[in-house]
């Protein structure tokens, strides 16, 4: 029997990138997939590509007035949610000194408050069902302060903090496990969809992202981490992995390196 046979996996941000790749991997493992995002056509395309049963459940993550109803629909699909993957989000590419404060409010709302809200609405249900697994797709930028990503780093740092604190409360008492995932550069549309200083989409990618790991490889690593109940997966390599590790081993060195790198980036950014 497949590892996730008869299990229900709910993935937000499932219409492309890491979310789409996760849907395929968990479906191949036997899971019934709930696909959420804003674009019904893209979600339907993903659903049609999966080898197992899937429900298209579109919603806007910051439409908090509708979330309780959305959660009820998700739980009615197969009677429970075994794995919740908070993957929906947006990145940033702008210098703090030039960025409108509203960009911070919008990005933190999408990347931090929305996954917290969606998670909170299900905790009691998960506890009553005997347990579940919550996955938060954060970022290496949730461990280090990355230039051009002040709002994004703030949100992703906060998401890790919430999930770590949540794990301390529910892992042993309610069998609700938590895995934080910190990807480095993965070849998705994250850079082209990133918010700029005025809140508009950047509209172009960059070489570091385009040369990143494949979403498929990232999804395989995430599935393996969830299956092994790994509390934190840093999915990165090279300097990104080294910097993420420095946050614990030598933070002063990290701050020195990021200051130098940030100065270079800021001087060249346009």
Backbone angles phi, psi at 170, to 5 degrees: -115, -15
Which is the catalytic residue, given 104, 152, 162, 235?
A: 152
Q: Which strands sit side by side in the sheet containing 8-11, from one edge to the other?
A: 54-56, 32-35, 8-11, 83-86, 132-137, 176-183, 232-235
Residue 65's φ and ψ, nearest 5 degrees, are: -65, -25
152 catalytic? Reply is yes
With tokens 């990347």, the residue in question is 111
- 34: which strand partners? 10, 55
Q: Where are the alpha helices (DSSP H) in the chain?
A: 17-28, 40-49, 64-78, 101-108, 114-120, 123-128, 150-170, 207-210, 215-227, 238-249, 251-268
Query: What is the rounded distance in angstroms from the CA atom of residue 197 to the CA atom of residue 149?
Result: 11
* Terminal Cα distance for the chain, rounded: 53
Phi and psi based region of residue 95 (left: phi greater than 0; alpha: psi -120 to 50; beta: remaining):
beta
The whole-angstrom separation of Cα 6 and Cα 1 is 10
Q: How far apart are CA 23 and CA 12, in angstroms?
A: 10
Phi-psi group of 5: left, alpha or beta (phi > 0 → left; psi -120 to 50 → alpha; rest → beta):
beta
Active site residues: 152
């Amino acid at each position: 029997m497949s590892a996730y046979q008869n299990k229900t996996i709910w993935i937000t941000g499932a219409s492309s990138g890491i979310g789409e790749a996760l849907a395929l991997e968990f479906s191949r493992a036997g899971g019934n997939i709930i696909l959420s995002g804003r674009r019904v056509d893209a979600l339907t395309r993903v659903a049609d590509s999966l080898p197992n049963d899937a429900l298209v459940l579109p919603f806007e993550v910051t439409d908090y007035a509708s979330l309780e109803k959305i959660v009820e629909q998700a739980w009615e699909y197969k009677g429970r949610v075994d794995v919740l993957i908070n993957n929906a989000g947006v990145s940033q590419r702008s210098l703090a000194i030039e960025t409108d404060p509203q960009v911070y409010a919008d990005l933190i709302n999408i990347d931090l408050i929305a996954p917290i809200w969606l998670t909170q609405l299900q905790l009691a249900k998960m506890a009553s069902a005997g347990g579940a697994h919550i996955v938060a797709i954060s970022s290496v930028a949730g461990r280090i302060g990355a230039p051009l990503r002040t709002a994004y780093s703030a949100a992703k740092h906060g998401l890790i903090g919430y999930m770590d604190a949540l794990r301390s409360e529910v892992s042993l008492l309610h069998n609700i496990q938590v895995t934080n995932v910190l990807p480095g550069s993965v070849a998705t549309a994250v850079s082209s969809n990133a918010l700029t200083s005025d809140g508009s989409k950047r509209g172009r990618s960059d070489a570091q992202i385009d040369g990143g790991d494949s979403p498929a490889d990232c999804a395989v690593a995430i599935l393996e981490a969830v299956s092994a109940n790994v509390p934190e997966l840093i999915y990165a390599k090279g300097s990104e992995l080294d910097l993420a590790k420095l946050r614990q081993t030598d933070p002063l060195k990290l701050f020195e390196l990021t200051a130098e790198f940030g100065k270079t980036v800021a001087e060249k950014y346009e």
